[in-house]
């Protein structure tokens, strides 16, 4: 059996960093970890190839070579996924689509021969049967009620990757999150009981990457790395030992909940293991919005103090923020501007609240009759996919004003300067790999010599030079990422919102009655 794994193209997004990748000589930010994990479950006698459409085109020769095409990804990749399925069908090849989009919205893929929902571990025999078309398997294969253990998950097929084209590699140590955020689909797909790999498994995956010759950043893709603190602490001890024995071939970054900032011992352990940055789901500092969406782990946490503390401990903070909660008002945008104005947090990813399929938010808005027709992305592009409580024009105008402020040159470099001034040094001496040298030289030439923000670039680098090599590296990284964030906001996002506002001008205003969902005591505590 010849199997072609195809990772669909990601459209330009904030997280795609498309404008930054060219500056550092890379083609994509991250590899398709899901597909190479599935590849590890397939029979060793099968021939397997991978085409990541974010680094190379899908050729007709690839489709003619294979017997079956396995594809899939996130909802943002749906248009490219349909294109892959159509091309495979024209070539007469069997198709199987999976991943998060297929799992939460299987009805959106009628053009696939098989829609595979949920995780693949523990169902390898069924997966092989579906790929081969045996046993009259149903077209849509639902996820099982019982989620698989991760303790026997094989090492992903890292050998299928052209590692030189990616900004960083990826591994996964756990799945699931113990919290109950209304808008999050992670707990729906992976559950609220975090399942973990053993330290030995994690180290075996890292060793596989090291033996392939890879050195540099590794993204630990767990949606909440500290979701199971009891398991993560011994992992960090083993990881620190492994790094010390091998002269720290990797640095790590991951995602975690904001309560990480309350556990100084855990922060020190992450730093000692080689973690240099962490993405936090902050969303908002408004206690009423946190209570309404049941993001209770953030209630009572001083956001600014948390970010400052993690930064000084050597962990750069990236964070997600959301506008459009039912409790938001026009004053919410000014509140967020003040919160983020001078914190050491350049990457403050701010988005409109979206009702993801299968989430508690989706179900609640569906009951309230507030979901919009989501059959076509074009209908809701630049707008929330539900009727917001705030008048929509005020919401979009406030959102545009907020993004224009956050990703102006002045604000970006102000937050970057705060980061360069405060970031603590890494646990291991900063190594100068050949890739680091060529990347830095390319960035210096394109940003410091030819770039439109040359003065800001050199000021930031000079600021870092006063603190040491780690701060210089941070300064260059901030300038590189800023190129994407500033350009993507001005060239794509703000025009998209403007187009949505223009369309909105011709629609009648339909008031939305705010829902009082919290018990009285909870509402009282949220607003005090």
DSSP string, 104-122: H-GGG-TTSSEEE-S--TT
Least confident interval from 32-41, 313-322, 422-431: 422-431
Question: Tokens 């300067």, residue?
Answer: 417
- State the residue range of the domain holding 133: 2-141
Q: What pTM did the predictor assign?
A: 0.93
Q: What is the pLDDT of residue 443?
A: 87
Quickly list H helices, 143-286: 186-190, 199-211, 229-245, 264-273
The answer to whether residues 334 and 215 belong to one domain is yes
Domain assignment present for 463? no
Final residue of a structural domain among 422, 455, 476:
422
Q: What is the pLDDT of residue 524?
A: 35
The answer to whether residues 207 and 87 belong to one domain is no
Residue 520 pLDDT exceeds 50: no
Q: Residue 309 in contact with residue 261, Cβ under 8 Å?
A: yes
Domain assignment present for 233? yes
Q: Phi, psi (5° rounding) for residue 520?
A: -55, -40
CA distances from 80 to 44, 210, 376, 477 (A): 29, 32, 14, 30
The answer to whether residues 183 and 120 belong to one domain is no
Domain assignment present for 427? no
CA distance 47 to 64: 14
Tally of domains within the chain: 2
What share of the chain has pLDDT > 70, as a percent?
93
The answer to whether residues 356 and 213 belong to one domain is yes
Domain assignment present for 478? no
Q: Quote the crossing angle between the two packed helices 494-504 and 392-406, to the nearest 10°.
A: 170
Q: Which of 190, 194, 252 is nearest to 226 (CA)?
A: 194
Residue 513 pLDDT exceeds 50: yes
Q: What is the pLDDT of residue 149?
A: 96
Q: What is the pLDDT of residue 137?
A: 63
Residue 299 belongs to a domain with what CATH number? 3.20.20.70
Residue 508 confidence class, pLDDT cut points 50, 70, 90: confident
Q: pLDDT digit string (tens) for 248-307?
A: 999 999 999 999 999 999 999 999 999 999 999 999 999 999 999 999 999 999 999 999
The answer to whether residues 126 and 186 belong to one domain is no
Reading the block at residue 384, the tokens are: 């929330």
Residue 11 belongs to a domain with what CATH number? 3.40.50.280
Residue 440 confidence class, pLDDT cut points 50, 70, 90: confident
Q: What is the pLDDT of residue 377?
A: 43
The answer to whether residues 64 and 106 belong to one domain is yes
The answer to whether residues 38 and 110 belong to one domain is yes
Q: Taking all residues of the chain, what is their mean pLDDT, rounded to a whole number?
A: 92
Residues 6+ apart with CB under 8 A from 297: 179, 257, 258, 259
Q: Which of 481, 432, 437, 479 is nearest to 458 (CA)?
A: 479
Q: pLDDT digit string (tens) for 44-66?
A: 999 999 999 999 999 999 999 99
Domain assignment present for 151? no
The answer to whether residues 257 and 372 belong to one domain is yes
The residue-averaged pLDDT of 103-128 equals: 96
Residue 162 pLDDT exceeds 70: yes
Domain assignment present for 464? no
Q: What is the pLDDT of residue 373?
A: 65
Cα R_g (the chain), whole angstroms? 23
Residue 521 pLDDT exceeds 90: no
Q: Phi, psi (5° rounding) for residue 426?
A: -70, 165
The answer to whether residues 239 and 309 belong to one domain is yes
Residue 340 pLDDT exceeds 70: yes
CA distance 177 to 181: 10
CA distance 313 to 267: 7
Q: What is the pLDDT of residue 432?
A: 65
Domain assignment present for 280? yes
The residue-averaged pLDDT of 307-332 equals: 97
Reading the block at residue 442, the tokens are: 């390319």
Q: What is the pLDDT of residue 136?
A: 66
DSSP state of 147: P
Residue 229 pLDDT exceeds 80: yes
The answer to whether residues 128 and 277 belong to one domain is no
Final residue of a structural domain among 81, 106, 141:
141
CA distance 330 to 398: 7
Final residue of a structural domain among 401, 422, 443:
422
Residue 435 confidence class, pLDDT cut points 50, 70, 90: confident
Q: Phi, psi (5° rounding) for residue 493?
A: -70, -50
Domain assignment present for 46? yes
The answer to whether residues 130 and 270 belong to one domain is no
Q: Residue 456 in contact with residue 464, Cβ under 8 Å?
A: no
The answer to whether residues 292 and 230 belong to one domain is yes
CA distance 2 to 61: 13
């Amino acid at each position: 059996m010849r199997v072609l794994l195809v990772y669909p193209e990601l459209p330009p997004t904030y997280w795609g960093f498309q404008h930054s990748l060219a500056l550092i000589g890379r083609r994509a930010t991250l590899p398709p970890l899901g597909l190479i994990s599935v590849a590890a479950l397939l029979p060793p006698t099968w021939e397997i190839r991978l085409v990541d459409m974010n680094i190379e085109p899908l050729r007709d020769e690839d489709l003619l070579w294979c017997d079956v095409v396995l594809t899939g990804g996130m909802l943002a990749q749906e248009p490219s996924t349909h294109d892959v399925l159509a091309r495979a069908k024209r070539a007469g090849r069997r198709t199987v689509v999976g991943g998060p989009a297929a799992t939460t919205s299987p009805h959106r893929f009628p053009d696939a021969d098989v829609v595979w929902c949920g995780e693949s571990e523990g169902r390898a025999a069924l997966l092989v049967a579906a790929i081969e078309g045996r046993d009259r398997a149903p077209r849509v294969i639902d996820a099982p009620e019982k989620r698989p253990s991760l303790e026997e998950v094989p090492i992903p097929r890292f050998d299928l990757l052209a590692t030189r084209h990616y900004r960083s590699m990826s591994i996964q140590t756990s799945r699931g999150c113990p919290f109950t955020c209304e808008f999050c689909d992670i707990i729906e797909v992976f559950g609220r009981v975090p399942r973990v790999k053993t330290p030995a498994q994690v180290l075996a995956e890292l060793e596989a990457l090291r033996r392939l010759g890879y050195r540099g950043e590794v993204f630990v893709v767990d949606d909440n790395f500290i979701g199971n603190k009891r398991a993560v602490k011994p992992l960090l001890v083993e990881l620190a030992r492994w790094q010390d024995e091998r002269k720290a071939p990797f640095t790590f970054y991951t995602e975690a909940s904001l309560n990480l900032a309350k556990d100084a011992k855990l922060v020190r352990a992450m730093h000692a293991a080689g973690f240099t940055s962490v993405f936090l789901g902050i969303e908002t500092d408004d206690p009423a919005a946190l209570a309404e969406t049941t993001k209770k782990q953030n209630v009572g946490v001083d956001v600014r103090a948390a970010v400052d503390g993690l930064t000084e401990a050597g962990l750069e903070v990236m964070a997600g923020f959301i506008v459009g909660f039912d409790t938001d008002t026009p004053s919410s945008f000014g509140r967020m501007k003040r919160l983020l104005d001078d914190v050491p947090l350049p990457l403050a990813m701010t988005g409109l609240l979206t009702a993801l399929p299968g989430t508690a938010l989706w179900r609640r808005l569906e009951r309230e009759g507030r979901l919009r027709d989501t059959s076509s992305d074009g209908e809701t592009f630049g707008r929330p996919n539900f009727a917001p409580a705030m008048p929509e024009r005020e919401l979009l105008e406030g959102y545009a004003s907020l993004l224009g402020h956050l990703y102006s040159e002045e604000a970006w470099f102000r937050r970057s300067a705060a980061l360069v001034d405060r970031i603590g040094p890494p646990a291991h001496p900063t190594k100068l790999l050949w890739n680091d040298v060529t990347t830095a030289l390319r960035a210096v030439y394109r940003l410091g010599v030819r770039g439109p923000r040359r003065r800001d670039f050199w000021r930031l680098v000079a600021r870092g030079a006063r603190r040491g090599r780690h701060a210089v590296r941070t300064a260059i990284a901030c300038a590189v990422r800023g190129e994407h964030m500033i350009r993507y906001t001005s060239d794509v996002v703000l025009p998209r919102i403007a187009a949505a506002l223009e369309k909105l001008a011709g629609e009648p205003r339909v008031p939305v009655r705010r829902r009082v969902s919290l018990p009285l005591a909870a509402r009282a505590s949220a607003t005090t």
